Structure 1
Amino acid sequence: MKPENQNRISAAVTNSSEQPNLDELAKNAGISKYHFHRLFSGLTGIAVQRYMRLARMKRASFQLAFRTWQSITDIAFDAGYENAESFSRAFKREYGQTPTGFRKAPDWHTWHTLHSNIQDLSGQNMQAISSDHVDIIDFPETQVAVLEHRGDPSLLKNSIAKFIGWRRANKLPPKRHATFNILYDDPAITADADYRFDLCCAVTKDFSDPEHGIIMKFIPAGRCAKIRHVGPDHLLDQKVRYLIGDWFHTSSELLRDFPIFFERVSFFPEVPEHEMTTDIYLPLE
């Protein structure tokens, strides 16, 4: 497929309404609806209707796992279903679990298998929605309450759900308490058992909570290279590799003895995946 058609189809899906129809998508792409579905399936490997259905299911799965205060009925309506029963049947067909079962104990392995087998359009036009501009900033010392994820990175979402629940119980919303992640290891080259990742919440007092695995740490003050990523998490690695590869090796900077860390500015499912915003920090001398 010609690159211009890929970009037009990517932009059509990115800029569409929450539940677009074929006419809207074709119009946004500037392509006849009689050809759009063929071009779309050639690019993604699946029909446009199934792609959009799975996109809605992905959002619903995040709401079930990480927004436990939302009712299943509300999530069903939000996903475009008339009632919770029809949503439950459709959800179970895709993930092998009912919404209630997934909320209690998500099978993330099945989830990852389903979604990793689908070409994500958001990656096709990455440069158009995400700048490669790097700033050098002075990061202030920041005290954080931390849940340490240790082990299989495919189970990280279980730790995220636990941390969200703890934050909610302690009235530490992201709007008032910034969310950080500290990345000690690259999952591509680290054994699952050795993988380390910190989930952090900025606080101004001690929130140590051994019962829930919460400890206190500091992100140290110092110079950092900062780059903004706009888009889904699975494309973050491309921006990290650009920062620590292309940018760092052409700079005259020296690295500080602290891992790369993220600040989560906006989250899915509160915003669409292509609008997720993450600031990436590379500590410098």
Structure 2
Amino acid sequence: MTLLKNFEIALDYLEQNLEKPLDIDLLSQLTSIPLQQFEVAFSALFHTNIDSYFTILKMLDCAQKLAFETRVSIEDISHQAGFGQSMEFEQAFFNAIGQTVYDFRVKPDWGNFFSRQQPLNTLAKGLNNVQDFSNDIQIIEFRSQRLIAIRHQGEKQYLSQTINALTAWQEHHHINHQMSRSFHLMKSLDTEPNSNVDVEITAVLNDAQYDALTASIAASEHFYVTTLPKCKMLQLPHRGCDIGLEDKIKFLYGVYLEREGYQLADIPLVIERCGINQDKKMVSTILLAVN
């Protein structure tokens, strides 16, 4: 079964369980898509993150109830959608539909309502039009790496601060960050303006560094040790902006995996940041773990 077909199982489940909280662990089990790849793969294929998708799905259902089930109170609709507080529901509805719940109940703006469904109507479209990067892909045997890590969960605009925090930690412990391999372990992709990202910012620790810094790391509130295990990886180089990087990630998940018969391994998508080239462009390598 293809990745898209597996995700259809998740989409069907969400449509039938709008009142329940989003459970990525359960969706991963239902679809057999590895947990550590689930959210990134969803965003790569569907151009939105799964939280946003599920929210708009719920709000469209609530809009139908507000317009046509007028005997059902706003509080009951909020409860049925899984919201604990009406204020939380009202804000989510306004963000998704563009009208307050009260205005929509009295005079729904159907033109705006249908325009808000466009993201759902264009899911996973356009994969046939992505550029083919097959000639640049290599299959490598990745060697296990011990990493010092700090996790960024929040707005992308503050990601550089987290990266700088790791650099400062390395400098404080006399580790030359320019000589250390640096990996971003992607838990999510920033597919939308002002969206939050979830990524582990990491750098390789050799045995001597690990032995010397074990106590310091254990006492830290923010830094910890993790490991990238030995595995087979698809390696795809990239030079330039993040938009081109996203196109290559989309190609890997949406086209290359199915065409070449690979299955995802339960290891996060990895972006190795290699530095700046002579043209002042960021040089990166995409590493996708497969079986």
Query: What TM-score do you get using the length of structure 2 for normalisation?
Result: 0.47
Higher relative contact order (CA 8 A, sep 6+): 2
Query: What TM-score do you get using the length of structure 1 for normalisation?
Result: 0.48
